[in-house]
Structure 1
């Protein structure tokens, strides 16, 4: 079929379809060009959080601490999950803080388009900026929480060693994984608005399977080998284990899942690549309907 005269005229003057999806490389360059917008949006959202509360930004660190206290009461004291786990309070707090980063990035990423529908419909910009800004916001909050976590570890007698430097690459890999996860969930959330109601239940189940409150190796001691290997490839467990290994001296290499660093790199690469491609493939559809 030949092109219409209007299409030929538009092409001859260098015009293109409004809202057309750019190629993946061009889209990545657009995102890089908007990097200051992404960081400014994350900073603005962080300042707006808890702005109506008297304690304000203090809730950014109080919330994970209170969650850890509740989990310690239920799992550590009532259910005895901490028996036989050295440095259980640092073990639990590290798990809660690190998993909360992934959990919050997933939740905010899934809502990033629907919560900003007016912005999406009013302005032209790469829509992936929104889930990426949501992930950056959660990373900024985690950095504040990690300062409190360091105080908790030192107060509990955990020594500061050179292994703490391993928290940096572990956190970088987890951030890349979370960004890919947020991109994928943003597309799902934009298409299925009820998904945001289901997601907390899925994330809670994921948390229970990730050894946040207990040493997973003790729970799966008598389980079939394929099931144990499957649980050990859980990305949440991988990143939590790496942070525990970096920060807690009693978490030795023998307690880590097999091939933990390669798995962390693989999960980050796959999540980022697949999440980016999945989100980009529907770029021109966001905000319509």
Structure 2
């Protein structure tokens, strides 16, 4: 009798856990924050093209909203920089010697360089400086660095009116070559947006990079012929290895600056450009634009977390 009482009752097996992945698929659910495929990501980004344009315009309008002169600073800032560089490099250091139309040469270089510099600096903070937006709304994060590069392009186009006036005041005639500004700016914008996406991903993980970038960009500026002619300076130093002038002229910032000078200044001849300059400019744009986009996309699900 006791043996019967001590026998435990039979237990029923626990029900199998439901297949959550099948359940989610049946109801059209997806993993929150999952990275879409690259073609799907491109389609999502294209669908938000109006947001990108409106966001860039709003940021540009708000940039100088607290200043009394307002949008005038879009033109004044690069002009003041050009004036400082002219005094230091053109007058004190004498880099203007041997360069025809030095003031148009310098102002063009400063305007074009400022476009690249500002795009990269803004891209570095595109994610880390907009965490509230990133965490609150669902959208392809590449829209942010692209919109910041577009904002800087809009600012450059606004400033180009002053550049054209300066060119005319110094006797530079309007020529058909001015139309080359459009493809040159398109290639530079593609390059800038690509580098901005690379820096946006790096800045999202390590925000301190934003503190380092001004020093990197300043060094890059001095190596890009903004205030001097690379071919003239390197040609006067015969002891330099032959690869040094080629390396300086092939760096992307110098390529886009020289293309703009060639398009706008009639005294800047094709002989001052590196060989196959349009191929080099296109190669830099594709390398940075496509490579930067893929690099940024690969970390899409990590932005705004942690």
TM-score by length of 2: 0.92
- 1:4, distance to aligned residue in structure 2 (A): 6.6
Secondary structure of 1:213's partner? Answer: coil
Q: Which residue number in structure 1 is paired with residue 113 of structure 2?
A: 99
Q: Which residue number in structure 2 is paired with residue 286 of structure 1?
A: 303
- Residue of 158, 177, 184 corresponding to 1:163: 177
Deviates further, 131-140 or 211-220? 211-220
Q: CA–CA distance in 1 between the matches of 2:247 and 2:229?
A: 16
- Please identify the structure whose Cα radius of gyration is greater: 2
- Residue of 255, 260, 266 corresponding to 1:249: 266
Q: CA–CA distance in 1 between the matches of 2:41 and 2:292?
A: 14
Are the counterparts in 1 of residues 230 and 245 from structure 2 also a CA contact under 8 Å?
no
Q: Note the alpha carbon deviations across 1:77-118, whole angstroms, 9 max, x for none.
A: 011010110000000000000010000000001111111110
Q: Which residue number in structure 2 is paired with residue 261 of structure 1?
A: 278
Secondary structure of 1:220's partner? Answer: helix
Report the CA distance shift for 1:230/1:56 in structure 2 as closer, same or farther (over 3 A): same
Q: CA–CA distance in 2 between the matches of 1:108 and 1:35?
A: 19
Q: Which residue number in structure 1 is paired with residue 87 of structure 2?
A: 73
Q: Which residue number in structure 1 is paired with residue 165 of structure 2?
A: 151
- Residue of 41, 65, 82 corresponding to 2:96: 82
Secondary structure of 2:202's partner? Answer: helix
Q: CA–CA distance in 2 between the matches of 1:272 and 1:255?
A: 26
Q: CA–CA distance in 1 between the matches of 2:292 and 2:208?
A: 20
Alpha-carbon RMSD across the aligned residues, in angstroms, is 1.0
Report the CA distance shift for 1:4/1:111 in structure 2 as closer, same or farther (over 3 A): farther
Are 1:192 and 2:220 an aligned pair?
A: no
Q: CA–CA distance in 1 between the matches of 2:245 and 2:256?
A: 17
Q: Which residue number in structure 2 is paired with residue 22 of structure 1?
A: 36
- Residue of 34, 44, 47 corresponding to 1:33: 47
Deviates further, 82-91 or 10-19? 10-19
Are 1:125 and 2:139 an aligned pair?
A: yes
Q: CA–CA distance in 1 between the matches of 2:166 and 2:83?
A: 12
Q: CA–CA distance in 2 between the matches of 1:56 and 1:215?
A: 34
Are 1:239 and 2:239 an aligned pair?
A: no
Q: CA–CA distance in 1 between the matches of 2:106 and 2:246?
A: 22
Are the counterparts in 1 of residues 98 and 232 from structure 2 also a CA contact under 8 Å?
no
Are the counterparts in 1 of residues 172 and 265 from structure 2 also a CA contact under 8 Å?
yes
Structure 1 gaps of 5+ residues are none
Q: CA–CA distance in 2 between the matches of 1:4 and 1:259?
A: 63
- 1:233, distance to aligned residue in structure 2 (A): 1.2
- 1:228, distance to aligned residue in structure 2 (A): 2.1
- 1:230, distance to aligned residue in structure 2 (A): 1.6
